[in-house]
Amino acid sequence: MATLAIYSLKGGVGKTTLAVNLAWCAAGLSARRTLLWDLDPQAAATWVLGGPGKVDQAQAMFSKDIAVAKQARPTAYPQLDLIAADASLRGLDQLFHDLDKKKRLAKLVSDLAGYDRVILDCPPGLTETADQVMRAADLIVIPVIPSPLSTRAYDAVVAHLGGRTPLLPVHVMVDKRRALHAEALAMHPDWPVIPMASGIEAMASRRAPVGVFLPKSSAARAFADLWRRIEQRLAA
């Protein structure tokens, strides 16, 4: 099993978009038994994948003796399961602080050994939850918009981690016609690129990964290419 975290210091940078599409690629393209664990109280990944509506149980598995694997539910896609988020996760940072167990999330993830790939959709910010994620993950994928603020946020994460966990930055929402974007891509030509695309924006209305409803689109190809690169990193 390998654990992949989709994390960013900033919100609104396409984190959930990456999480959902990479989870679908893992299950659909690589035939991996995959779990997407939604840790964000906004529950966007849960909503896109057709998870539960309003419930108030997501935080309980961190504080109670609950078998975390039993919280996973199948999605509409073969090989892809979901542990849903809900609003109770708004108190997760405080709970981690009160528990004072630095590897609580890592312990729960270790109980998911029946899966080949566990993908964590993380809330933004340098928080107690983020520190738990960084201890639990084998690889952290960080979406970076080609802009000074987003790049600055990425640099802050690098400094905070100090090389403890492998990182894979990904340029997202890229429009190569914009001079600022072209300059950023030229500075980091080895970073994977996810384009700005109408198909990605349509995920919210379609409530599905891009590869499901636009399998031949540039966006679907970009997610597939990124997933292959991740698999190579995990196998190294």
Q: How far apart are CA 184 and CA 172, in angstroms?
A: 11
Q: How far apart are CA 230 and CA 198, in angstroms?
A: 24
As to burial, measured by CB atoms within 10 angstroms (0-12 exposed, 13-18 middle, 19+ buried), residue 74 is: exposed
Q: Does 56 score more than 90 pLDDT?
A: no
Q: How far apart are CA 116 and CA 109, in angstroms?
A: 12
Angle at 154 between CA 150 and CA 159, to 5 degrees: 145
pLDDT value at residue 57: 78
Edge-to-edge strand order for the sheet containing 2-6? 73-74, 80-83, 34-38, 117-121, 2-6, 139-144, 167-174, 193-195
Could you list the residue range(s) of the whole structural domain that residue 183 is in? 2-235
Cα Rg for the chain, rounded, in angstroms? 17
pLDDT value at residue 101: 87
Number of domains in the chain: 1
The predicted-structure confidence for 133-189, as pLDDT tens digits, reads as follows 999 999 999 999 998 888 888 999 899 888 788 999 999 999 989 998 999 999 999
> Could you tell me where the DSSP H helices lie in the chain?
15-28, 44-48, 60-63, 92-99, 104-110, 128-136, 148-161, 179-187, 198-201, 203-206, 210-213, 218-235
pLDDT value at residue 227: 98
pTM over 0.85: yes
Report the CATH number that the domain containing residue 113 is assigned in CATH: 3.40.50.300
Please answer whether residues 122 and 5 qualify as being in contact, where contact means their C-beta atoms are separated by less than 8 angstroms.
Answer: yes
